[in-house]
């Protein structure tokens, strides 16, 4: 049978007043008795009323100037905490005074359960197999949420889709990818002063073989290849965007200069070349397979197909106005490796071509142009981009050629490689 409110109040008051914290505290005993009386009567006492009824203050008492009541109520809370942590820790009913109030509350501890208690009660009602199933379902849900969150984070860093027709061979491929930067060849020439020499860059000379055809005899001048190389600004402009795209793949990325490239690496790895046409080195063979040739002295590109020849001539006005042509060539290599060449005569050509390959909105324009010409984006293709501008400031760019390349050309090359014949450098 449940006790009445009056009996509960009387029981609480009796226990508290007999306890050690309240036994010798006259003010706390009086304040406790008064607040319990107000609670039983349904009265919400005010600070000034408590001051008069309990502490016998007159009508001149000002709560704003005198914190008497607040101090005693604070002390009363401390004594209640002390009691319920000691003598009263097994009491069913607990008296509380919420902060900022003078109303007392009575809590039935037998009916108050924490969330953990409620969860434990729920678990006890379940049999063992149901509980294990519930835990497994909870774990699966947590893993699904974590996987979804991780997938969202990874998508923020993946700027190219794994199924993109241009980049899929690099992003979803078992081969490592080598990014090749075209470096410029230098030779040294001794001078008749303090045994010094100078490093010279000649755009007509891009390798040891070219050095053999100097217009002056090599044995008379002491000309020899220099150990110094130089990366043009075109590579530095384009490299960050290319690396971001390739980071969409879990495969490793290797960085090399074109002068360090070997035939074995070309046959076995994915290749991305960025740089000047004159610095292609061993990769120049893949330009020839695309029916292209170029003249470094005249700075023009020639493309022949079915007896017709197209000529694309660059324009340079004292390093101010430029009209450049960039070639973009994609091959499926002899061992299913992907080869992508991006080359031009000046900086603006490579810079703009790499933007078309790495910025999603421009990549779509490139793929739309291929689709319009070839009905789809082929695995092997050739594109020529005309770029006009002043130094590095690009004013206009447009594709003047987009066509698919015959895969049988590379298939024949693959068969030669597999039969033991080296690919033509």
Range of the domain at 138: 117-157
Domain membership flag for residue 209: no
CA proximity to 345, closest of 362, 322, 363: 322
The answer to whether residues 127 and 66 belong to one domain is: no
For the stretch 204-233, pLDDT in tens is 787 777 777 765 655 566 787 877 777 777
Do 138 and 240 lie in one domain? The reply is no
Q: Are residues 407 and 273 in the same domain?
A: yes
Contact between 146 and 215 under an 8 Å Cβ cutoff? The reply is no
- Tell me: do 309 and 326 sit in the same domain: yes
64 and 102 inside one domain: yes
CA 13 → CA 18, 90, 99, 177, distances in Å?
9, 16, 20, 83
- Asked if pLDDT for residue 53 goes beyond 60, the answer is yes
Q: Are residues 349 and 242 in the same domain?
A: yes
Q: Which tokens belong to 258?
A: 């074109």
Q: Mapped to the 3 state alphabet, what secondary structure does 23-58 carry?
A: HCCHHHHHHHHHHHHHHHHCCCCCHHHHHHHCCCCC
Q: How many structural domains is the chain composed of?
A: 3
For the CA atoms of the chain, what is the radius of gyration?
A: 43
Q: Is 285 exposed, middle or buried (0-12, 13-18, 19+ CB in 10 A)?
A: middle
Q: Which residues have CB under 8 Å from 199's CB, separation 6+? A: 186, 187, 188, 226, 228
| C-alpha triplet 92, 93, 96: angle, nearest 5° | 140
Residues 318 and 247 in one domain: yes
173 and 96 in one domain?
A: no
Whether residues 59 and 176 fall in one domain: no
What separation, in Å, do the N-terminal and C-terminal C-alpha atoms of the chain show?
102
Q: Token pair of 288, please?
A: 């020839």
pLDDT at 129 over 80: no
Kindly report, residue by residue over 370-422, the tens digit of the pLDDT. 999 999 999 899 999 999 988 778 889 999 999 999 888 766 665 655 555 44
Do 128 and 76 reside in the same domain of the chain? Answer: no
Examine residue 68 and state whether it is found in any structural domain, yes or no: yes
Do residue 122 and residue 235 come from a single domain?
no
Distance of alpha carbon 97 from alpha carbon 108, whole angstroms: 14
Q: Which CATH number goes with the domain that contains 88?
A: 1.10.10
| Least confident among 84-88, 139-143, 144-148, 217-221 | 217-221
Please give the angle made by the CA atoms of 242, 298 and 282, to the nearest 5 degrees: 45
pTM assigned to the model: 0.59
CA distance 238 to 296: 22
Residue at 224 is within a domain: no
């Amino acid at each position: 049978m449940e006790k009445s409110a009056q009996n509960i109040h009387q029981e609480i008051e009796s226990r508290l007043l007999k306890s050690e914290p309240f036994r010798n505290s006259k003010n706390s005993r009086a304040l406790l008795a008064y607040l319990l009386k107000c609670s039983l009567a349904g009265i919400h006492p005010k600070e000034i009323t408590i001051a008069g009824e309990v502490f016998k203050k007159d009508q001149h008492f000002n709560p704003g100037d005198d914190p008497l009541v607040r101090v005693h109520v604070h002390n009363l809370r401390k004594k209640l905490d002390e009691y319920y942590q000691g003598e009263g820790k097994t009491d069913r009913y607990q008296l509380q005074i919420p902060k900022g109030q003078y109303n007392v509350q009575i809590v039935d501890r037998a009916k108050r359960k924490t969330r953990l208690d409620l969860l434990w009660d729920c678990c006890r009602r379940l049999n063992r197999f149901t509980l294990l199933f519930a835990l497994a379902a909870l774990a699966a849900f947590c893993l699904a949420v974590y996987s979804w969150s991780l997938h969202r984070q990874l998508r923020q860093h993946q700027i190219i889709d794994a199924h993109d027709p241009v980049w899929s061979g690099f992003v979803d491929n078992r081969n490592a990818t080598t990014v090749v930067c075209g470096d410029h060849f230098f030779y040294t020439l001794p001078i008749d002063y303090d045994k010094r020499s100078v490093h010279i860059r000649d755009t007509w000379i891009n390798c040891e073989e070219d050095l053999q055809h100097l217009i002056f005899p090599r044995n008379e001048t002491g000309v020899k290849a220099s150990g110094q190389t130089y990366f043009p600004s075109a590579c530095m402009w384009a490299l960050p965007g290319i690396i971001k795209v390739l980071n969409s793949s879990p495969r490793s990325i290797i960085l090399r200069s074109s002068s360090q490239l070997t035939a074995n690496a070309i046959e076995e790895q994915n290749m991305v070349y960025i740089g000047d046409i004159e610095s292609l080195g061993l990769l120049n063979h893949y330009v020839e397979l695309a029916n292209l040739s170029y003249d470094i002295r005249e700075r023009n590109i020639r493309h022949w197909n079915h007896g017709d020849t197209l000529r694309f001539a660059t324009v340079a006005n004292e390093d101010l106005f430029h009209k450049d042509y960039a070639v973009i060539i994609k091959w499926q290599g002899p061992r299913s490796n992907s080869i992508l060449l991006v080359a031009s005569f000046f900086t603006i050509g490579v810079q703009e071509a790499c933007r078309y390959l790495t910025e999603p909105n421009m990549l779509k324009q490139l793929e739309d142009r291929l689709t319009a010409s070839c009905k789809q984006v082929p695995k092997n293709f050739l594109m020529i981009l005309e770029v006009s501008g002043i130094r590095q400031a690009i004013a206009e760019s447009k594709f003047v050629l987009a066509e698919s390349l015959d895969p049988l050309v590379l298939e024949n090359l693959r068969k030669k490689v597999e039969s033991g014949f080296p690919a033509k450098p």
